[in-house]
Each structure stands twice: as structure tokens, then as C-alpha cells.
Amino acid sequence: MRGSSGASNTLMKRALDTVERVGNAVPQPAVLFSLLIGILVVLSQALQWLGVSATYLRINPQTHGVDEVTTKVQGLLSAEGIRFICTSAVANFMNFGPVGIILVAMIGIGVAERSGLIEALVRKIVQIAPPRTMTAIIVTIGVVSSIAADAGYLVLIPLGASAFYSLGRHPLVGLAAAFAGVAAAFGANFLVKPIDVILTEMTNDAIQVVDPARSVDVTANFYFGIVSSIVLIVVCTVITDWVIEPRFGKYHQESPSKKEQGLSAPELRGLLYALFAGICVLILLGLVTLLPGAPLRHPTTGQIIGDSPLMASLVFIIMFLFLVTGIAYGIGARTIATIDQGLAMANETIASLGGLLVLLFVVAQFVAYFNFTGIGTILASRLAGVLQEANLGHTALLLSFIVIGFLLSFPFPAILPKWAIMAPVFVPLFLRLGVEPDALLAAYRVSDAPPNVINPLLAHLALVVGFAQRWQSDAGVGTIIAMMLPYAVATFVAWAALFFAWFLLGVPFGP
């Protein structure tokens, strides 16, 4: 289908091609999610009539206490369900995380892209970096980008495609490498992330059920996170270069020559202006963040990382940084001469998102309806109950926990809601069995991230499909799932193997 290398006849390639054909044979994502909504409506009503329910423990995010909760399936054809469908459409869309991120961040990113900054920057990176290191660079940036929550999906994934295109490599391979770094390795990082603070709080709340005097620190998985990052970067790089790129082969559309990759004098001047503007933005950011009592510190604790205005401002900061540097580049490169031109670039970018916004509207409704029915929560509770009652040893129990976490990542793509349900069940259970909470939290990270890249319910998957269609118009959900399946398998196996080696050797997971 793509490429003419010897690898094209391998069993793996044929299997992935089959996955792609089957996946792309299903309707377009917006139609597919509309069909899923119809199935969910019927299924939820049937389960409500059957009286399906579950009782479980859950962490209360307001009180941090552990409450016993009973959830019953709510039918979408019941009076309450019909009211929810009719009254929540606008709120479902407006409260859907990716919508706000896209609309705000793309104002700045659109100006940077249409002024020529991103293209020139990528070409400059290509000139400086050895070509064969580009995969590792893209994956590494993707892993580190989780410090900025979901911003990596929006910024790095299209940048990875552009970088590979500039090298004459298939842009979808660069997109895959970036997506793998951002999503499949989401729980790993060289740094402590804001989400680590919340995971730690939830874990400590669950620990209190057994031992009120015990707790874990936010750095509980710090050592494991650093080594995991290195391992996952290597794995994703190898999969990209040895599996994904041979399958795609050469890009059939026109690719830039080495001469075209060179930068003209106006482009170099534009990059210099952008560099100066970026430094000014970073200095300004330092002034409002680093000084004592600065506005972007937490007003009470003075925190910068974690629960702070800085971390809540990351999307705005990204938008502002790209906007300012994009305008500066345009002035230097003579691609922006007037304010109207800059505004037109932002307007064109937002206008180009029309189809994506329609898709996100449908996805937002499906996610809201699914959460309303309670089916995912009941499924998680039932699986947790099965594991709790199993008479297994530590290793087998942890392996079962990781497998269950992997499976639950499909109905629960978000890392926090899933842990809110799993923590009060599994943390006390494993504590009583002598397994430390930091080990269980590390196992949870292993189970959570790898399925992201093949999960149709991941909110950002529709965004990735949209990015892919810029380079391959017939790309669909099947294209992405087939492309990312090797990453999901490889990262899960490698990360799980690392975890069990770490656990069995008794190496500390953190300070």
C-alpha cells in the first residue's frame, strides 16, 4: 500500500494494513460518534431497565474523604436522560477541554504558522540537528511536553510532521513519533508535573483509610519517571525508525530539496526578530512568576509548580508566545506589513477549524452522555471487585492491576477520573498485602498511558486525525490506529517489564 521496501511483505505490515483498511471503512469520525451515541442511548436504557448498579468507594475531591457511593445506570431515554440531552448540549461543548485549548492556542499558533515562523524554525532545526536524530528529538520533546498538560497535542504533533517533511521523510511518520511521545508516555517525565500533585493527593486520601499517619510525596515516582522516560524515548524512536517508517516509505508528494531547505536573508532576519521577541516574553514571564509575591505564584503558598496561576495559564502563555514571536518574525521577514494582515492570519486559522469543531461537538456530546449513564464507573467498580477477591501473589496481583488499568483506559481516557475510582479500592488493598503506595502509583502510570494512542474515545484523537489529513487527505481513524498500534504494544510491554524489574529488585521509586 505504501512504500516498496522489503518490509512491505512482512506479516506485521500486512496486519497493520488490514487494521487500517477496516478502520477507515467505518464512517467518518463525526458520523461514527453519532452512531455510537445512538448505540449508547439504547444500551443505557436497557441496562437501566435491568437495574444494573454498583457500590464502591470513591475519593471526594472537595472533602478529600472516601465516600461509599452507589451508582445505577441512567438511561438516556428516561425522563431525566431526555432532559439531560436537550439541556446540556451547549455546556457539553463549551466545557469540553480540547475546544478551549484549540480556540485559544490556535490564535497564536495560526499567526506563527501563516507568517512563516514555524516552517523557518523547523528548517533551521533540520539544518542544525543531524537528520537521524530528529526522531529522538521529537519523541523527547513529546515526553517532556506533558509538563504543559495537553498543549503538546496541539503544538508538537503538527510540528513533528513538518519537521519530517522538511527532511524529505514521510510527515505522518513524524506525526506518529510526536503523538507517541506526547500520549503513550504521558505518565513519564524528567520533571515533576502538575498532574503528579493531584495524583499524589488522591493516593494519600486513599492511604488514610488504612493508616492516617502515612502518606507519599509528590516525588514518590521521580526516579522511576526519569528512567521510564529514557526507556520510552528509546522504544518510541526504534518503533518509528524500524517499524513505522519502512511501512510508509517515501512521501509521494513533492518534498523540499536541500537547496529549498536553506533560509533566505529575510527569513534569517525574521528568526532573529522572533528570538528577540521570545526572550522578551520569557523575561516578562519571569518577572510575573519568579519574584516573591509575583502574580503567577500561588497567592497563599507561593507555589510555582502544582496548584498555581502559572500552571493554569499555560495555554494562554503558549498562545501569547507564538503570537508575539509570529508577529515579530512576520515583521522581520516582511510577511506581515500591517495589523490587518496579522488579524487576517488569525481569522483564517480559526476559520480552518470549522470541520474540526463540528467533530468535537459530536465527541463532546458522546463523552458527556457516557459519563451521565454511569456505565464506565460501574464497569470499573466491577473489575476492581473481581481483582480484590482474587487470591493472587504480589506480582500476579500487580500484573492483573496493570491489565485492568489498561482496559479501563478505553472507557476512561483521562488519568484523574480513573484514579479517583481505582485509588480507594486498590491502595488500601495493596497496603494490607504489603505493597507500598508508590509502587502501585507507578504501576498505574504504566497502565494508563500506552492505550491513549489507539483509543477512539481519547478526545485528542480526532485532532490527530485532522492533522494527518493535512498531509494525506484520505487519512482516517483506521490510519491513526494502525499507525500507532505498534507504539501501544511496545510501550506497554517495555514499561511493564521495567516496572516489574524495578519492583522485584526493590529499587526505590522515588526519594
Least-confidence region, from 195-199, 220-224, 267-271, 334-338: 195-199
Is the pLDDT reported for residue 1 higher than 60?
no
What does the pLDDT read at residue 498? Answer: 97
Q: How confident is the model at residue 61, as a pLDDT?
A: 61
Give the pLDDT band of residue 4 (cuts 50, 70, 90): very low
Characterise 293 by phi-psi region: left (phi > 0), alpha (psi -120 to 50), beta (else): left
Output 84 or 386, whichever has higher pLDDT.
84
Amino acid at 289: T
68 forms beta bridges with 57
In the structure, what pLDDT confidence band is assigned to residue 434 with cuts at 50, 70 and 90?
confident
- pLDDT confidence of residue 176: 97
Mean pLDDT of 91-114: 81
Q: Are 456 and 477 in contact (CB under 8 A)?
A: yes
Segment holding 68, helix H or strand E:
strand 66-72
Taking alpha carbons only, the member of 164, 161, 165, 145 closest to residue 153 is 145
Does the model's pTM come out above 0.75? Answer: no
Q: Specify the pLDDT at position 30.
A: 78
What does the pLDDT average to over 88-98?
A: 85
pLDDT of 414 higher than 60: yes
Q: How confident is the model at residue 402 (pLDDT cuts 50, 70, 90)?
A: very high
pLDDT at 24: 67
Which band of pLDDT confidence, cut at 50, 70 and 90, is reported for residue 97?
low
**Cβ contacts of 462 within 8 Å, gap of 6 or more:** 29, 356, 359, 360, 363
Q: Out of 113-122, 142-151, 172-181, pick the least confident.
A: 142-151
Q: What's the one-letter identity of residue 314?
A: L
Length of the chain as a residue count = 511
- Assess whether pLDDT exceeds 70 at residue 142: yes
Which of the residue ranges 105-114, 128-137, 409-418 would you say has the lowest mean pLDDT?
Answer: 409-418
Asked whether the beta carbons of 463 and 416 are under 8 A apart, the reply is: no
pLDDT for the residue numbered 148: 62
* Buried residues in 14-23 as b, exposed as e (16+ CB within 10 A): eebbebbeeb
Is 6's pLDDT higher than 60?
A: no
Considering only CA atoms, give the Rg of the chain.
24
Please tell me which of 229-243, 249-263, 346-360 the model is most confident about, judged by mean pLDDT: 229-243
Is the pLDDT reported for residue 260 higher than 60?
A: no
Residue 7 pLDDT level (bands cut at 50, 70, 90): very low
Runs of H (alpha helix) within 180-304: 194-207, 222-239, 245-248, 258-261, 265-287
CA–CA distances in Å: residue 71 to residues 53, 56, 68, 421: 5, 8, 10, 12
- Burial degree of 340 (CB within 10 A; 0-12, 13-18, 19+): exposed
Residue 126 is predicted with a pLDDT of 67
pLDDT tens figures, 441-479: 999 999 999 999 999 878 788 889 888 988 988 888 889
Q: Rounded mean pLDDT of the chain?
A: 84
Range from 135-139, 156-160, 351-355 that averages highest in pLDDT: 135-139
- What pLDDT is recorded for position 177? 96
Q: Which one is predicted more confidently, 423 or 64? A: 423
Beta-carbon neighbour count of residue 51 at 10 Å?
8
Cα distance between residue 24 and residue 460, in whole Å: 18
Pick 389 or 502 by higher pLDDT: 502
Q: Is 54 helix (H, G, I), strand (E, B) or coil?
A: strand
Average pLDDT for 251-276: 76
The residues that bridge with 66 in the sheet, in sequence order, are 59
Question: Is residue 258's pLDDT more than 60?
Answer: no
Alpha helices in 88-208, H assignment, sequence order = 89-94, 97-115, 117-128, 134-144, 151-166, 171-179, 194-207
Between the two ends of the chain, the Cα-to-Cα distance in Å is 50
How much is the pLDDT for 264?
Answer: 86
State the virtual CA torsion across 160, 164, 165, 166 in degrees, nearest 10.
100
Burial (Cβ within 10 Å: 0-12, 13-18, ≥19) of residue 338: exposed
DSSP β-bridge partners for residue 57: 68
Phi and psi at 59, nearest 5°, equal -75, 130
- pLDDT, tens digit, 9 for 90 and up, residues 72-83: 999 999 999 999
Beta bridge partners of 72: 53
- Own/partner pairs, 55-62, CB within 8 angstroms, 24+ separation: 55/381, 56/377, 56/381, 56/384, 56/385, 56/421, 56/424, 56/425, 57/209, 57/424, 57/425, 58/420, 58/421, 58/424, 59/202, 59/205, 59/206, 59/420, 59/423, 59/424, 61/420
3-17, 53-67, 139-153, 234-248: the lowest-pLDDT one: 3-17
